[in-house]
Amino acid sequence: MNERRRGRDLGLPFPGTPGRWNAITDVAGVEVGQVTLISGEGPLKIGQGPVRTGVTAILPRGRAGVEVPCAAGYYSLNGNGEMTGVVWIEEAGELQTPITITNTHSCGVTRDATIRWLVGHGVGTGQDWGLPVAAETYDGDLNDINGFHVTAEHTLEALDSARSGPVAMGSVGGGTGMLTYDFKAGNGSASRLVEIAGERYTLGVFVQSNFGRREDFTVLGVPVGRHLREGKLRGKEQGSVIAILATDAPLMAHQLKRLARRVPLGLARTGTVGNNSSGDIFLAFSTANAAAFSQRGGLTQMATLRNGDIDALFMATVEATEEAVIDAMLMADTMTGRDGNTAVALPADQLLALMKQYGRL
């Protein structure tokens, strides 16, 4: 098996300047943990397998700052999916819990397990109850999705294992059984460094990528999907995409919602139009203003960028989203799951040949 490599390592000329790990964890404090579940082969036997799934956990301020909320905003391009906790985020403008991402029929399990994890660690949310963020995409083409193989214990393990540093991508964690543009995909992440008013800020994106019709697939303007037609599993638009944005730039909730609204522009660069069956849901949070969010009463003060100064963050969102989706595909190997269903990997050699043919390399 050839080692999979990210787009930049292959020479794809993505715009913008990434952080050290080119991942959401380039935003200081953000930690990611993942548990991958792969077992069994052959015909589907509900409750037994084959299993091709998992769970991803994101701690916005890491374990050390888990009790401190973040300013947050969310946006849904197409609502055929689930992200719990966003009604309160819309109301309060705060993210108060870790985030979990898994398959569609395990979303409730990871939500409830997050509360259990918070209680077990003696962590409060500023009120007497918790409304965790848990999101999902569908992995039933490869996974025994009705077998409910993701458990509370797997979720606790993902939360406990969350760390900073490089983020594993492709067929790992919640992205284990996912496809994108009918190629094997899963999880992807990317980051950008931006300069605003003499200060440097970091923006990172994490995607659980599971969407798209092969014919629409585009890489840096090249219509790749029109050329690479073989090996389709779905043969239609199906699935969803969850995107989590993090930044250390001081932004208010309404500004973070504006960032989340730019995710579709990055997705559109890869070819999608946001089809009816796709749940396209995005959450953005800021790790700035920790002292203000730590305060539990009285008058507080927060720093914020002017609306007129955040265009660079809009561009960073679009660029990092595009790159994260393509890396989710490039980092995933071919996978065979239930009933012998096979999701083929994006062939890097053929991709590069097309990029040269179109003058992009």
pLDDT tens track for 113-132: 999 999 998 887 767 789 99
Q: What separation in angstroms does the CA of 185 have from each of 123, 297, 324, 358?
A: 34, 45, 11, 24
Distance CA 295, CA 278 (A): 39
The answer to whether residues 245 and 259 touch, using CB atoms and an 8 Å cutoff, is yes
In contact, 341 and 202? CB cutoff 8 Å: no
- Of residues 296 and 331, more confidence is placed in 331
156-176 per-position pLDDT tens digit = 999 999 999 999 999 999 999
The model's pLDDT over 248-271, given as tens digits with 9 standing for 90+, comes to: 999 999 999 999 999 999 999 999
Determine the average pLDDT of the residues in 285-301: 93
The span from the CA of 35 to the CA of 117, in Å, is 15
Cα–Cα distance measured from residue 68 to residue 287, given in angstroms and rounded to the nearest whole number: 9
Give the Cα separation of 30 and 355 in Å (integer).
34
For residue 1, give both structure tokens.
């098996």
Domain architecture of the chain: domains with CATH: 11-357 (3.60.70.12)
- Whether the pTM exceeds 0.95: the reply is yes
Tokens 């870790």 belong to: 98
Catalytic residues: 240, 278, 280
For residue 47, what pLDDT is reported?
A: 98
- Cα–Cα distances in Å, from 137 out to 191, 279, 280, 290? 22, 8, 9, 31
pLDDT value, residue 2: 56
| Bridge partners (DSSP) listed for residue 78 | 280
